[in-house]
A and B are shown apart, each in its own frame.
Chain A
Amino acid sequence: MTEAKRLSVLTRLGARAMRTMTRVAMGYDPVFLDRLLDLLGPREVGAWGREVNDTVAALETHCGAATTQHVIAFSAFFNGCPFCSVGHTYAGNLELFRATGRLFPIDERDVLKLQRLDDDQLLRTLATKLGADDQETFERIVQMYELKTNLRTARTEVDDLMLRAVAAWDIITECTIVLEDVDPATVDPLTEIAKDKTLQDRYQQARGRG
C-alpha cells in the first residue's frame, strides 16, 4: 500500500501543541490537526480556522446554533468523513437538547450507518425521521446538499455561507485517511459545548446511556 506522507517532527510538535491548546480552550481533541497542518502549513491553518469561525458565526445568525452544526455535520458526512459527521452531529444534538430539552431524531452514534445509504435513500430517511419539529433543519441540510452537488445555484446570503462551509469541510475531510474506522462513542462534540460535561451527562442519560 502507498504510504501516507510522513509528517515532519516540527509538524508533529506544532500539532501536539495546538491540540493541547484546543483541548484546554474548547474541550475537545482536534485529532485532524496533524494532517491539516501538513496539508496547509501553520500560517494557513490559522487563516483557515479564522475563516471557519467567521462562516459558522454568520450561519448561526441565520440558522441557529443547532441547525448550523447539523448542516456542517452533513457537509462532512457527504464527503464520507466519519469523524466530523459524528462530532458536529453530537454538537448540534447538544445545542438542541440544551435549548429545548429535546433529542434530535438522529443519534450521533447512528450517523456512520447512514453513510452507507445512497444519497436518495439518505434524504428520504432524513425526511421521514425529521418531523415537524425539525423541518427547518431538514430543509437546511437539503439546501446544503443541493448546493454542494450542483443541483442548486447560490442565490442568497445563506447559500453563499453554506458554500463556504462546504469548501471548508472539503479541506478538512482531506484528513479522512487517518480516521477511517471511528467508534462514534469516542468522538467529542466538535465545538466549545464540549466543555459542558454536565450537559453531556444529562444528554447521554436522556439517550438511555447514562
Chain B
Amino acid sequence: MPDAPPFDIRGDAFRVTATWRGIWDESVALDYAAAARDQLTSGGPGARHLVVYANDLHHCDILARGVLTDLHHELRPRLRRTVFIASSARMRGLCLWIARVSDDENAKVFANDRGVELWLAGEAGRIDDARRRMSGSRDEGES
C-alpha cells in the first residue's frame, strides 16, 4: 500500500479540515501552504473554522515551522476559530507554538476530539479561557 500523502486539506463554506502526516521539511510545508491558501483565501474574513489533525505528524523541522507560522499569521484574519489536535505532547507543543507566534488567540490545541466543538462554538480567547478556568469556571473546553 502506498504511503499516505503528507497532508490532506479540504473543506466547505464553514469548516476546513487539514491532516498532517509523516516528516515535514520546508518543501512539504510550502506545498501545504499553497493548498491551504487555495482553500482558505476565498470567503469573507472570520468566515470559517480550521481543524488540523496532527496525530500522525512525526517531525516538523525548523524551516517548516517557520512556513506554518507565517501561513497561520496570514490566514488568521480569515478564520473564525482554529483547533489543532495532536496525540503527542511534542506535536502539541509545536501547534501551541504556531498559535502563539502567529498571535492567534482563537486557536487552541487539543489531545483528542473532546471539547473541540465547544471551543469552536465559543467566543473567549485561549488565554482568557485559561484565566477563567484558573479561577474555577469551565466553559470553553479543556486543552
Residues of chain A touching chain B, judged by Cβ–Cβ distance below 8 Å, are 1-2, 4-5, 39, 48, 51, 77-82, 85, 114-120, 122, 147-151, 154, 160, 163-164, 166-168, 170-171, 173-174, 176-177, 180
Task: Report if B143 contacts A (CB, 8 A).
Answer: yes
Complex Cα gap A116–B102 (Å): 24
- Residues of chain B lying within 8 A (CB to CB) of residue A114: 89
Complex Cα gap A167–B134 (Å): 5
- Residues of chain B lying within 8 A (CB to CB) of residue A160: 136
When the two chains form their complex, are residues B89 and A79 in contact, meaning their CB atoms are under 8 A apart?
Answer: yes
When the two chains form their complex, are residues B87 and A78 in contact, meaning their CB atoms are under 8 A apart?
Answer: no
- Residues of chain B lying within 8 A (CB to CB) of residue A78: 89, 92, 111
When the two chains form their complex, are residues A171 and B134 in contact, meaning their CB atoms are under 8 A apart?
Answer: yes
Measured CB to CB, the nearest residue on chain B to A117 is B88
- Residues of chain A lying within 8 A (CB to CB) of residue B15: none
When the two chains form their complex, are residues A51 and B135 in contact, meaning their CB atoms are under 8 A apart?
Answer: yes
- Residues of chain B lying within 8 A (CB to CB) of residue A166: 133, 142-143
When the two chains form their complex, are residues A170 and B141 in contact, meaning their CB atoms are under 8 A apart?
Answer: no
Residues of chain B touching chain A, judged by Cβ–Cβ distance below 8 Å, are 55, 65-66, 69-70, 73, 87-97, 100-103, 109-112, 114-115, 127, 130-136, 138, 141-143
Name 10 interchain pairs, CB-CB below 8 A, sorted by A.
A2-B70, A79-B143, A81-B93, A82-B93, A118-B87, A122-B88, A149-B110, A164-B134, A166-B133, A177-B100
Measured CB to CB, the nearest residue on chain A to B113 is A150
- Please tell me which one of the listed residues B66, B103, B114, B132 contacts residue A151 in the complex, with CB atoms under 8 A apart: B114
When the two chains form their complex, are residues A5 and B103 in contact, meaning their CB atoms are under 8 A apart?
Answer: yes
Known A-B contacts A115-B90, A166-B142; A171 and B103 likewise in contact (beta carbons under 8 Å): no
Known A-B contacts A150-B114, A171-B130; A80 and B90 likewise in contact (beta carbons under 8 Å): yes
Measured CB to CB, the nearest residue on chain A to B73 is A2
- Residues of chain A lying within 8 A (CB to CB) of residue B127: 39, 171, 174
- Residues of chain B lying within 8 A (CB to CB) of residue A148: 111, 142-143
Measured CB to CB, the nearest residue on chain A to B63 is A1
When the two chains form their complex, are residues A168 and B102 in contact, meaning their CB atoms are under 8 A apart?
Answer: no
- Please tell me which one of the listed residues B65, B88, B115, B136 contacts residue A116 in the complex, with CB atoms under 8 A apart: B88
Measured CB to CB, the nearest residue on chain A to B95 is A80
- Residues of chain B lying within 8 A (CB to CB) of residue A167: 130-134
Complex Cα gap A52–B121 (Å): 29
When the two chains form their complex, are residues B100 and A174 in contact, meaning their CB atoms are under 8 A apart?
Answer: yes
Complex Cα gap A77–B88 (Å): 10
- Please tell me which one of the listed residues B96, B101, B103 contacts residue A79 in the complex, with CB atoms under 8 A apart: B96
Give the one of A51, A78, A151 with max B CB within 10 A.
Answer: A78
- Residues of chain B lying within 8 A (CB to CB) of residue A149: 110-112, 114-115, 142
Known A-B contacts A2-B69, A166-B142, A170-B143; A79 and B92 likewise in contact (beta carbons under 8 Å): yes
Give the one of A48, A120, A148 with max B CB within 10 A.
Answer: A148
When the two chains form their complex, are residues A1 and B134 in contact, meaning their CB atoms are under 8 A apart?
Answer: no
When the two chains form their complex, are residues B112 and A80 in contact, meaning their CB atoms are under 8 A apart?
Answer: no
